[in-house]
Structure 1
Amino acid sequence: MGVEKNIVTDTIFELFQKQDDGPKYRVLSAALRQGISEGRLPPETRLPPVRELAWRLEMTPGTVARAYTLLTDEALLVAEVGRGTFVAGQGEPRPPLYITLQKDGAPDGGEMVSLFTARLPDLGQVRLIQEGFQRVAARPDRALLDYPSAAAFAPARQAVVSWLGGVPLGPLHHEDVVLSHGAQSGISLVMQAVLRGRRPVIMVEELAYPGFRRAAELLRAEIVAVPMDEEGIVPEALAEVARRHEGQLLCTSPQLHNPTAIVTPPERRRAIAEVARKGGFDILEDDSTFLGDTHSGTYREMLPDQSWYVSSISKTLTPALRIGFAIAPHRRRTALRRVAENGFFGLARPLADLTEDLLTRPETREVVRAVQAQNAAYVRATVNALGGFDLGWDEDSPFVWLRLPAGWRAASFCMAAEAQGVQVRPAEDFAPRNAFAPHAVRIGMNGLVAMSDFEAALARLRALLDNPPEQILV
């Protein structure tokens, strides 16, 4: 078996050397395709482990994992948990992971490509998680017998502080951090720590992440929308809404607004922070969708006694683990901790230990960079296909915002797109009930879709935009 493994590695190395220049993951994937098509890598051949091949080819493990994932999406390779990655056999091909729905009339036999939300490819994080669980399972038995405790979770919280080291959050101590079940749980925890009275008011952008509304409804809070412009929340409008409705909390995503991909500039953020300071209300900043490095000042840095910060690993590593974190103002961290302890005691100890493990490993940073690079490539493909229309985008955003041309309504466009085998999300999903919603849709970057299929889906959307049916013209 060892000789066979060496032969496979040598074959891949030889094929890799013969390819044209380009991004290393594409060069490697081209070499593997050639080896498979020529029979030099026959069906059922086990490929070298990611780390081993990365060392031989002098590249990062994330690059090798990205090439493997690309060919797995094309059904040329098969990844089997606990066994490795193999050249696919000659049996019946497996359906791609991104196929979510069968619908009569859709192209290619009814397969539906979902761009309804962002999806992450496996660029090495599955292996990291599996190995992390193995390391956690080997820890002392006592860790599996005690209730969660603040002292026991200190290493995980410190790992979060280090993970967020590049984010300008102002002075940050690990005791300011509460681990949550994803960012949505973190949002609910902050609301419970802040809100008071029988019918508190929460302010959100006039188009906002639906999770704000859902969390508010659970707490019987009232939602009030704040007008926006091309830079985000309008400070003067915020001051008026807060005064008129006695708003207690503003929920916002200034680093990357969901769904429009607006990035609020620093000057506007400072003006909003000043409105909050004078109005005496708190700010909850949700930073869970931006994939890049957050350099601009956060509200917690600008307004340290009134601002809360929430994020997660769902968009950069995986949403499956539901690992998030809520960060309180230093003087109010006890209130946030009590909410979590009184609500669910804390995360399961193995999950907290896995958080510590993942966030402290250098390989995790490599995987995140690979995810960022692939997402940027999909955004560029979207801009290339739809850039002639009114498109809001950022290379570090997992979605783009398409303002529809005259003649289209969001609901009609979504129905027409679905008939063509593509799912997108209408603006109505982000607007308050009974409020006006613009004629726009959000398009998610689905990393489980092979680039060729993703571009084909965009081409179908482009054809619809160019040729609206007569019956839906206004």
Structure 2
Amino acid sequence: MSVEKNIVPDTIFALYARQPEGPKYRMLSAALRQGVAEARLPPGTQLPPVRDLAWRLGMTPGTVARAYTLLTDEDLLTAEVGRGTFVSGQAEQRPPLYITRPWREGPDGTEMVNLFTARLPDLGQIDLINDSFRRLAARSDRALLDYPTAAAFAPARQAVVDWLTAVPLGVVHHEDVVLSHGAQSGISLVMQAVLRGRRPVVMVEELAYPGFRRAAELLRADIVSVPMDEHGIVPSALEEIARKHEGQILCTSPELNNPTAIVTPSERRRDIAEVARRCAFDILEDDCTFLGETRAESYRALLPEQGWFVSSISKTLTPALRIGFAIAPQGKRQTLRRVAENGFFGLARPLAHLAHDLLIRDETREIVRSVRRRNAVYVRATVNALGGYDLGWHQHSPFAWLRLPQGWRSAAFCLAAEGQGVQVRPAEDFAPRTGFAPHAIRIGMNAQIALPDFEAALARLRCLLDNRPEQEMMA
């Protein structure tokens, strides 16, 4: 190779060595971007072949090809068939799709805007919880030396019943309630109470909260996904699957599907309940994510002897305390209670007292209303920024579901978003492991960051959507 041809790979090598640690393709793309910006790689410069540069930098050809592709998508490079890859001569470049930054996460130097999950703002919860702890500490309770008992937890269970007064659950007595360590614990308790046999079958929505599948896997159950349409589970498909696989329980979130934000209307719920009656399976309803007023009857009301209900305070007040509750259908309270007692004896007494104190206070309900209002502000910002695309949302949802335009795959988009300093969650996390995942992402309403910062993160996502990789190829 001539001296002139050595100049370009040597320049790239020097730039690459100066980049902060991170994924190699990002370090290389940042080095090339810097070389162009500093005119060390002027327009028209031919870059080394992929294999040659990979050997020079000690990485795989696929890594180099990935970096080249990213910068080609930005119009920083051009690829000419039969000739090679060149630095673009265009005067104006498309906004960068990927930004390499120090790859750090944590309290110190965190660079990412976390939209991977919803985060609650502090609208008085911290002071309220601390006050409840002080009230708890002031109690003179000799029972702190005893194991939990059902009788001792009666006030806390009644507080749960009163807390859920607006939810159409049918007839509920406090003895139908079991306190759990968050909703995930409640889901596991219900499955243990229902499932029987060596390989029981759990049916879930084809796009569903992944905790359903995790709980089923722990119990060595087979998991079968049920097709959905714009209204939720398709009743005819559910009946076919239930009969074919002898499904024992259906796990669903009809009030607000996680992740799609689909709300199952009343008529569809009644059709699904009729399928459950005919096929004799139970329904576990997870009601954790919906922040508004309940609109339709729960499956516990529609199926008094087959409907289980699980909820928590994680999305409305705080996820830190891990306070949840499971409610058994008629005739099943002893089974549910026995599972809890045999599994962990029951919630710790102080935590049960804390749950009681929080749920009966008027201040708590006012804070929940404030959380609901604040969440709606962030939802509106999301719709304003991304509503031109295929966006699933609800004003009382802590997340939005974005179906990506042609040219983007969810994994690639999530990587691109991270490059822009924004973390989002891919559809694959909600789909069955062996099933098809749509090209979509879930965006969490992170109300712990200021609204302008949240809007700026959405603007970066919008830039990615507006400049998708295959745009020119499809034109």
How much has 1:468 moved relative to structure 2?
1.3
TM-score by length of structure 2 reads: 0.76
Distance change in 2, residues 1:355/1:102 (3 Å): farther
Residue 409 (str. 1) matches residue 389 (str. 2): no
Q: How does 1:110-259 map to 2 (within 5 A)?
A: 111-259=111-259
* Alignment-derived partner of residue 447 in structure 1: 447
AA of the residue aligned to 1:327: I
How much has 1:141 moved relative to structure 2?
2.8
Does structure 1 retain, via aligned residues, the 8 Å contact 2:408–2:469?
Answer: no
The CA distance in 2 between the partners of 1:102 and 1:431, in whole Å, is 31
Does structure 2 retain, via aligned residues, the 8 Å contact 1:417–1:424?
Answer: yes
AA of the residue aligned to 1:239: E
The CA distance in 2 between the partners of 1:378 and 1:465, in whole Å, is 20
Deviations 1:53-97 (A, max 9, x none): xxxxxxxxxxxxxxxxxxxxxxxxxxxxxxxxxxxxxxxxxxxxx
* Alignment-derived partner of residue 310 in structure 1: 310
The CA distance in 1 between the partners of 2:346 and 2:110, in whole Å, is 44
Does structure 1 retain, via aligned residues, the 8 Å contact 2:400–2:442?
Answer: yes
AA of the residue aligned to 1:412: A
Deviations 1:21-77 (A, max 9, x none): xxxxxxxxxxxxxxxxxxxxxxxxxxxxxxxxxxxxxxxxxxxxxxxxxxxxxxxxx
Aligned-CA RMSD value: 1.4
How much has 1:293 moved relative to structure 2?
1.2
Alignment partner of 2:112: what SS? strand
Alignment partner of 1:433: what SS? coil
The CA distance in 2 between the partners of 1:234 and 1:340, in whole Å, is 33
Does structure 2 retain, via aligned residues, the 8 Å contact 1:407–1:473?
Answer: no
Alignment partner of 1:330: what SS? coil
* Alignment-derived partner of residue 90 in structure 2: none
The CA distance in 1 between the partners of 2:292 and 2:174, in whole Å, is 23
Distance change in 2, residues 1:322/1:473 (3 Å): farther
AA of the residue aligned to 2:363: E
* Alignment-derived partner of residue 382 in structure 1: 382
Deviations 1:262-299 (A, max 9, x none): 00000000000000001000000000000111131000
How much has 1:377 moved relative to structure 2?
0.2
Q: How does 1:332-347 map to 2 (within 5 A)?
A: 332-347=332-347
Alignment partner of 2:113: what SS? strand
Does structure 2 retain, via aligned residues, the 8 Å contact 1:249–1:281?
Answer: yes
Which of structures 1 and 2 has the bigger CA Rg?
A: 2
How much has 1:143 moved relative to structure 2?
2.6
* Alignment-derived partner of residue 400 in structure 1: 400
- Residue identity over aligned pairs, in percent, reads 77
TM-score by length of structure 1 reads: 0.77
Alignment partner of 1:446: what SS? coil
AA of the residue aligned to 1:282: D
Does structure 2 retain, via aligned residues, the 8 Å contact 1:121–1:371?
Answer: yes
How much has 1:211 moved relative to structure 2?
0.2
How many equivalent pairs are there?
370
* Alignment-derived partner of residue 292 in structure 1: 292
How much has 1:140 moved relative to structure 2?
2.0
AA of the residue aligned to 1:269: R
AA of the residue aligned to 1:229: D
How much has 1:312 moved relative to structure 2?
0.1
Deviations 1:234-268 (A, max 9, x none): 00000000000000000000000000000000000
How much has 1:125 moved relative to structure 2?
0.7
Q: Higher mean Cα deviation, 441-450 or 137-146?
A: 137-146
The CA distance in 2 between the partners of 1:214 and 1:462, in whole Å, is 33
How much has 1:330 moved relative to structure 2?
2.2
Unaligned runs of 5+ in 1: 1-100
Alignment partner of 1:283: what SS? strand
Does structure 2 retain, via aligned residues, the 8 Å contact 1:206–1:228?
Answer: yes
AA of the residue aligned to 1:409: R
Distance change in 2, residues 1:390/1:470 (3 Å): closer
Distance change in 2, residues 1:196/1:110 (3 Å): closer
